[in-house]
Amino acid sequence: GAGVSQSPSNKVTEKGKDVELRCDPISGHTALYWYRQSLGQGLEFLIYFQGNSAPDKSGLPSDRFSAERTGGSVSTLTIQRTQQEDSAVYLCASSPRDTEAFFGQGTRLTVV
Amino acid sequence: QKEVEQDPGPLSVPEGAIVSLNCTYSNSAFQYFMWYRQYSRKGPELLMYTYSSGNKEDGRFTAQVDKSSKYISLFIRDSQPSDSATYLCAMSGIRWGNNNDMRFGAGTRLTVKP
């Protein structure tokens, strides 16, 4: 497909386990963003990748969160030792320069 | 105080009503203002995009920006049940894709009843 693809769509994990969330951006988009959306809250910025530049990790809430982007394309968000407060929808968006971004459908993470 | 304030609702209106959705903000550097629509279990999709102050119309949707009051609005005329979704306002200082200063409201959940 031509859109941003995220996998899995849903993930249920036990507290303390590690999880990996994947984002396939639109081909050719240089910018990639991860956001977290909790019930009743706006989108919380997590991390931003732009081309080959060093990522902006200023939004990551703790050192349990990390992300990488391989070859300027696919990105993986990793959450180590998950906690219940990590339960949320994790959204990925990609964008070419100077225009709006396109969101994936999100990964709904539930930590039990 | 949050940079962007948006009443989460929920807001319920009858079909055909005019809907008014609003956000206020505190950062005077914001120049780009957007409205996203998010259907249940889907990602947000861009609905309207406005630069600086003024109005922009697209079909049944009108976006207004009043920078002097730091207030933006989205109006939906002749609302339809298919408009039922969560509407998020978003704003930034420079165009998206160049940085990460986009800020989002909490989203207003709208239901249009037939």
Indicate yes or no: CB of A101 within 8 angstroms of CB of B104.
Answer: no
- d(CA A8, CA A109) in angstroms, rounded, equals 9
- d(CA A64, CA A77) in angstroms, rounded, equals 11
For the stretch A68-83, pLDDT in tens is: 998 879 999 999 999 9
How high is the pLDDT of residue B53? 84
Indicate yes or no: CB of A103 within 8 angstroms of CB of B104.
Answer: no
Contact of A101 with chain B, judged by CB distance below 8 Å, is answered with yes
In chain B, the residue whose alpha carbon lies closest to the alpha carbon of A47 is B100
Identity of the residue numbered B58: D
Q: CA B41 → CA A91, B36, B86, distances in Å?
A: 11, 14, 11
- d(CA A103, CA A92) in angstroms, rounded, equals 6
* A 34-63 residues with CB < 8 A to B: 35, 40-43, 45, 48, 50, 56, 58-59
- d(CA A88, CA B75) in angstroms, rounded, equals 29
Contact of A93 with chain B, judged by CB distance below 8 Å, is answered with yes
Indicate yes or no: CB of A31 within 8 angstroms of CB of B98.
Answer: yes
Contact of A103 with chain B, judged by CB distance below 8 Å, is answered with yes
Q: In angstroms, what separates the C-alpha of B34 from chain A's closest C-alpha?
A: 9
Pull the structure tokens for residue A29. Answer: 């988009």
How high is the pLDDT of residue A63? 96
Count of CB atoms situated within 10 Å of the CB of A66 = 13
In chain A, the residue whose alpha carbon lies closest to the alpha carbon of B7 is A40
Residues of chain A with pLDDT under 50: none
Residues of chain B with pLDDT under 70: 1, 95-99
Identity of the residue numbered A94: S
The counts of H helices and E strands in chain B are: 0, 11
Residues of chain A positioned with their CB less than 8 A from the CB of B4: 42
Of A50, A97, A105, the CB nearest to B42: A105
Backbone angles phi, psi at A6, to 5 degrees: -120, 145
